[in-house]
């Protein structure tokens, strides 16, 4: 056993050095605007369109209600109200053993109706389990859709992969509406000392938006973007995009 210990120790040493370097890079990178611009690129690099959409395809979120499903519903409804002739397809897989009225897709449909979309314009696709399958299942419901103007509504980090998947499936005319969040106009600066509490010698953070919000947002962007970049590579290898 002793003869195996030195190479194992060297291997573990390099693993810990790599992990430490990676952690340091992620933390330092979070203090820059780099993560946002990767996120922005994923959302906008393939989404431009200059046609009037005849179909709006809302990609499913993580259940209803959830941040992604509600945000995508908001953007899909806004686009649907702007183009009242467009059909809206909701791709949201259903859990087996539940009724249609209990499914997430049905709840999203009700959310769209509340936001002014007529129910006759909404079509549900509840079988697709990933972006590739969703693209194929929508064609199964409405085969001629591949020759019509389609706009995909999904989260920014998911937009590029969605567009590439639908193009690979045969859709000819595609664009996208990435669901970017917009920060409020409120002034969020404050003075720690004016709020009372314990008199402890701690750094003043009330006037640092970078420490309170931007650092954490950029940390989150990195998690989303790195996962998505891996997914893009995987889909390319599989021939799905």
CATH code where residue 61 lies: 3.40.50.620
- Give pLDDT tens digits for 201-239: 777 776 767 777 889 999 999 999 999 999 999 999 999
Any domain includes 1: no
* Cα Dmax for the chain: 75
Any domain includes 109: yes
Any domain includes 13: no
Any domain includes 111: yes
- pLDDT for residue 24: 96
- CA–CA gap between residue 124 and residue 162 (Å, rounded): 18
Range of the domain at 88: 44-179
Contact by Cβ (8 Å): 58, 70: no
Q: Quick one: which H or E segment has residue 154?
A: strand 149-154
- Average pLDDT over the chain, rounded to an integer: 90
In SS3 terms, 28-96 reads as HHCCCCHHHHHHHHHHHCCCCCCCCCCEEEEECCCCCCCHHHHHHHHHHHHHHHHCCCCEEEEECCCCC
Any domain includes 34: no
Any domain includes 80: yes
Any domain includes 32: no
- Give pLDDT tens digits for 6-50: 777 888 889 999 999 999 999 999 999 999 999 999 999 999 999
Any domain includes 105: yes
Contact by Cβ (8 Å): 153, 176: yes
Q: Structural domain tally of the chain?
A: 1
- pLDDT for residue 1: 55
């Amino acid at each position: 056993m002793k003869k195996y210990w030195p190479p194992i120790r060297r291997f573990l040493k390099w693993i810990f050095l790599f992990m430490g370097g990676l952690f340091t890079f992620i933390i330092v990178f979070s203090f820059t605007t780099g993560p946002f611009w990767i996120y922005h690129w994923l959302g906008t690099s393939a989404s431009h369109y200059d046609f009037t959409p005849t179909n709006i395809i809302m990609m499913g979120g993580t259940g209803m209600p959830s941040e992604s499903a509600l945000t995508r519903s908001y953007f899909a409804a806004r686009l649907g109200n702007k183009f009242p002739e467009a059909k809206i397809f909701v791709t949201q897989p259903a859990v087996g053993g539940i009724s249609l009225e209990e499914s997430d897709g049905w709840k999203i449909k009700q959310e769209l109706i509340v936001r002014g979309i007529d129910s006759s314009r909404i079509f549900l696709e509840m079988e697709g389990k990933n972006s590739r399958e969703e693209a194929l299942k929508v064609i199964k419901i409405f085969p001629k859709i591949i020759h019509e103007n389609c706009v995909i509504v999904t989260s920014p980090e998911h937009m590029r992969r969605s567009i590439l998947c639908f193009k690979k499936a045969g859709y000819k005319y595609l664009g996208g509406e990435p669901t970017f969040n917009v920060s409020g106009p409120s002034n969020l600066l404050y003075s720690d000392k004016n709020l009372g509490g314990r008199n402890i010698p701690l750094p003043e953070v009330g006037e640092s938006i970078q420490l309170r919000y931007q650092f954490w947002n950029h940390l989150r962007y990195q998690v989303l973007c790195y996962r998505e970049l891996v997914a893009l590579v995987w889909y390319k290898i599989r021939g799905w995009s």
